[in-house]
Structure 1
Amino acid sequence: MKRRSLREYILLFSKGVSMGAADVVPGVSGGTIAFITGIYEELLGSIRSVDGEAVKLLIRFRLADFWSHINGNFLVVLISGILFSIASLSRLILFLLENYPELLWSFFFGLIVASAVVVSKKITRWTWGVPLAGLAGAAIAYYVTVATPTQTPEAYWFIFLSGAIAICAMILPGISGSFLLVLLSKYEYILGAVKELKVDVILVFGAGCLTGILSFSHVINWMLKKYHNVTVALLTGFMVGSLNKVWPWKLTIETYTDRHGEVKPLIQDNVLPGAYESLTGKESYLVYGVVLAIFGFMLVYLVDKFTDDNTTQV
């Protein structure tokens, strides 16, 4: 377990807040934030440490050893930041998505472009497999962004499955767990459950998330250790491919009616800002969008440049 000062724990909490904010928005991954802020591999390692050995230590009431084994301080502070962000920002994000989607997506477009650049810099050696992995990641992410959402059941078993699927994507830079929830028609349903404190839905979804993340973290951790450069290229490709989803100006081609009788976009095409205004009759907010995109890009650049998680391994 790493030793951290109070300042470093506050910084870690803020990283959790950023991850939570990203995970709330369809098209943006909390894993991206973890990667560019330098805690991604520690996060995977900490999750992976919740294993049989941890259970044995807990059963034997060796609580201090258990806490050290799972890097408990790190997980508690980071998860607290994520949960705080989701609980406090869910209403704001939904408001912005409803009223100012162009501005919100512009900010995240710039953020993801910069994230792809930052993550790609972590490739230390280029072999033939690295660009192939990057292209494969971009193709997979692009396909996910153009997939069409479908109506799905609200039974507990499907809520559990949705949590397991979404959490796997949430820890992958570039693949948005929130967007997978959109594809599964469970994004607004889960956010609504959080806002309305539907404890049963939250617990079932949380159990799915826990099951998924404990299983999937082993796979990603193994890939990063054995095939680091190829894995980083794959993750970079995920980010590049996901840009299709976060393009700010979209023309709705087809809609659907949700269970509350509200009309929602089903299929959308990306268009240029000028065409967006003429086709939709809405303000494109082009200047503000460009400014926010640059701000998002610079924010990631500065985080990468100045975020230094100086800790000491014990």
Structure 2
Amino acid sequence: MALREWVGIYLKGIAMGAADAVPGVSGGTIALITGIYERLITAITELDPRALALVPGAIRAEGRARLRARLVEMDVWFLAALGLGVVTALVTVSRAVEYAEETFPALLFAFFFGLIAASAVVLYGEVDVSTPRRAFAGLAGVVLAFVVAGEVAGALPHTLPVVAVAGAVAICAMILPGISGAFILLLLGQYIYLTETLSTFVDALLALVTGGDASALVAAGSVVAVFGVGAVAGLLTIAHVVKYALTHYRAATLTFLVSLMVGALRYPAEQVLGNVGAWTPARALPVLAAALVGGVLVVAIDRYTDDLDLASEVDAGEDPAPAAPDGGNR
């Protein structure tokens, strides 16, 4: 790729990362806006771990040529440039989130509430719940998210296995239009912990470069590494499951995913209530304003993308989904 294309993909990665770093806004939607969604999904599903078998042969010129050709075929360089932009944004936004959570948590979670609530309202206009199957999927999504947000999110420990699973699930949400990876982490009670850990890791890395202690780097780095491993595993496994579900049960799957956002509103609402204390006009107005800002942000993005059809764009470039037995879309 030419340097200009590299920079363009990197900047699109920054936009995706900034969107995915906050619950309620989807990096997949940004990929649609910037015209790279089909290429992204194709590159992810073309990733093949068997290409690693070519690495030992790279000591010879012909081996390097085969490895390079395979990497180009899988569009790895595109994913690398895009991923670098995503990481850049995640590191930057995580710092802001950590500061906000420590300084004014009620406003932060009110902002998240506005983001998630507005996203749910907007996305429900893109799904169809006119059949019993879809209505059941929607109800199941609301109930599951409500229970997880209240009973599971606070109980899940911040252990490495939990972090790995969270990474695997969140990465799939990050590539879906409308569903935010940060929202999944928030639902699982891992969002604040992981944003703080990422900031700690970056600080420790900078300190090590300047001659500091490596102990903090090892502790935070292990969490970041395990999350990354989980994310890669998710891309190679769960992403294919999600793709299958969207291809064969598109309407019901989208209804379920959007309904998760409704039930999950319990978590930011409880966080707001727990951090406000006594409600007075002086405390209520900033909270309402923060929620309004989050909602307006989502509505603005929706207006910019009002010509995008979520139900059809998620399968951009694929063959039409098989018809359900009754001839309709399940």
| TM-score normalized by the length of structure 1 | 0.70
Whether the 8 Å contact between 1:15 and 1:78 is mirrored in structure 2 is no
Whether the 8 Å contact between 1:12 and 1:77 is mirrored in structure 2 is no
Report the Cα distance in structure 2 between the residues aligned to 1:221 and 1:6, rounded to whole angstroms.
Answer: 27
Match of 1:263 in 2: none
CA change 1:124–1:137 in 2 (3 A) is closer
- In the TM superposition, what is the alpha-carbon distance from 1:36 to its structure 2 partner? 6.4
Report the Cα distance in structure 1 between the residues aligned to 2:135 and 2:90, rounded to whole angstroms.
Answer: 35
Match of 1:21 in 2: 21
Question: Whose helix fraction is larger, Structure 1's or Structure 2's?
Answer: 2
Match of 1:75 in 2: 79
Deviations 1:115-155 (A, max 9, x none): 224433443784321121122112111112102534747xx
Counterpart of 2:163 in structure 1: which amino acid? S
Report the Cα distance in structure 2 between the residues aligned to 1:138 and 1:42, rounded to whole angstroms.
Answer: 32
CA change 1:306–1:98 in 2 (3 A) is farther
Report the Cα distance in structure 2 between the residues aligned to 1:302 and 1:6, rounded to whole angstroms.
Answer: 29
- In the TM superposition, what is the alpha-carbon distance from 1:233 to its structure 2 partner? 0.8
Counterpart of 1:216 in structure 2: which amino acid? I
Q: Percent identity?
A: 25
Match of 1:179 among 181, 186, 196: 186
Whether the 8 Å contact between 1:29 and 1:169 is mirrored in structure 2 is no
Match of 1:210 in 2: 232
Report the Cα distance in structure 2 between the residues aligned to 1:204 and 1:7, rounded to whole angstroms.
Answer: 29
Query: Which runs of 5 or more structure 1 residues have no equivalent in the other structure?
Result: 23-27, 253-267
Match of 1:260 in 2: none
- In the TM superposition, what is the alpha-carbon distance from 1:86 to its structure 2 partner? 1.8
Report the Cα distance in structure 2 between the residues aligned to 1:121 and 1:57, rounded to whole angstroms.
Answer: 47
Match of 2:279 in 1: 277
Query: Which runs of 5 or more structure 2 residues have no equivalent in the other structure?
Result: 58-62, 174-178, 206-216, 318-330
CA change 1:185–1:79 in 2 (3 A) is closer
- In the TM superposition, what is the alpha-carbon distance from 1:203 to its structure 2 partner? 2.8
- Corresponding position: 1:297 with 2:298: yes
Report the Cα distance in structure 1 between the residues aligned to 2:288 and 2:121, rounded to whole angstroms.
Answer: 24
Helix, strand or coil at the partner of 2:273 = strand
Match of 1:242 in 2: 264
CA change 1:212–1:13 in 2 (3 A) is closer
Match of 1:220 in 2: 242
Question: Whose strand fraction is larger, Structure 1's or Structure 2's?
Answer: 1
Match of 2:321 in 1: none
Report the Cα distance in structure 2 between the residues aligned to 1:286 and 1:221, rounded to whole angstroms.
Answer: 38
CA change 1:17–1:213 in 2 (3 A) is same
Whether the 8 Å contact between 2:141 and 2:263 is mirrored in structure 1 is yes
Which range moved further: 130-139 or 12-21?
12-21
Superposed, which structure 2 residues align to 1:1-314 within 5 Å?
Answer: 9=9, 12-22=12-22, 28=23, 32-35=26-29, 37-38=31-32, 43-52=40-49, 54-55=51-52, 61=64, 62-123=66-127, 126-147=130-151, 149-150=154-155, 152=157, 158-159=159-160, 161-172=162-173, 173=179, 176-179=183-186, 182=189, 186-187=193-194, 188-189=196-197, 191-197=199-205, 198=217, 200-201=221-222, 202-247=224-269, 250-252=272-274, 276-278=278-280, 282=283, 284-286=285-287, 288-305=289-306
CA change 1:86–1:8 in 2 (3 A) is closer
Helix, strand or coil at the partner of 1:250 = helix
Counterpart of 1:225 in structure 2: which amino acid? T
Match of 1:255 in 2: none
Report the Cα distance in structure 2 between the residues aligned to 1:125 and 1:42, rounded to whole angstroms.
Answer: 30
| TM-score normalized by the length of structure 2 | 0.67
Whether the 8 Å contact between 1:17 and 1:85 is mirrored in structure 2 is yes
Helix, strand or coil at the partner of 1:305 = coil
- In the TM superposition, what is the alpha-carbon distance from 1:49 to its structure 2 partner? 1.9
Report the Cα distance in structure 2 between the residues aligned to 1:10 and 1:150, rounded to whole angstroms.
Answer: 37
